[in-house]
């Protein structure tokens, strides 16, 4: 699967340096995998949830949340937003 875009991950890590390594590890796992459905995704990332049309990943022991739009047919994942856990509590899909 292709992640659009790593730049978003890097910009977030500039503000939250402890997020850099977990975000890059997450990206590497995503990019080396193929997912046909949410079920496939859930097998690799047990904590991923679906919120409306978005997928929410817990990063770094639930310290951060990554919101993504995933197109399984084209194997493209768009990073929509990354936020701290407390910011996520105010997010609405």
CATH of the domain at 34: 3.30.2310.20
Q: Is residue 93 part of a domain?
A: no
**Burial class of 78 by CB neighbour count within 10 A (0 to 12, 13 to 18, 19+):** middle
Full domain range(s) for residue 66? 2-88
Residues 19-29 as b or e (16 or more Cβ within 10 Å = b): beebbeebbee
| 41 occurs within a structural domain | yes
The confidence score (pLDDT) of residue 92 equals: 67
Domain annotation covers residue 30: yes
Q: What is the pLDDT of residues 10-39, one digit of tens each?
A: 999 999 999 999 999 999 999 999 999 999
Q: Domain count of the chain? A: 1
CA dihedral 25, 20, 40, 3 (to 10 degrees): -100
pLDDT in the model for residue 93: 65
pLDDT digits (tens, 9 = 90+) for 40-87: 999 999 999 999 999 999 999 889 999 999 999 999 999 999 999 777
Assigned domain for 76 exists: yes
> Which pLDDT score is estimated for 90?
67
């Amino acid at each position: 699967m292709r992640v659009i875009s790593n730049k978003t991950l890097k910009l977030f890590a500039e503000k939250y340096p402890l997020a850099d390594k977990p975000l890059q590890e997450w990206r590497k796992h995503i990019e080396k995998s193929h997912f046909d459905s949410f079920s496939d995704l859930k097998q690799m990332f047990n904590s991923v949830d679906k919120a409306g049309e978005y997928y929410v990943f817990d990063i770094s022991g639930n310290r951060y949340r990554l919101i993504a739009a995933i197109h399984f047919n084209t194997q493209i994942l768009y990073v929509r937003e990354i936020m701290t856990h407390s910011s996520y509590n105010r997010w609405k899909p």
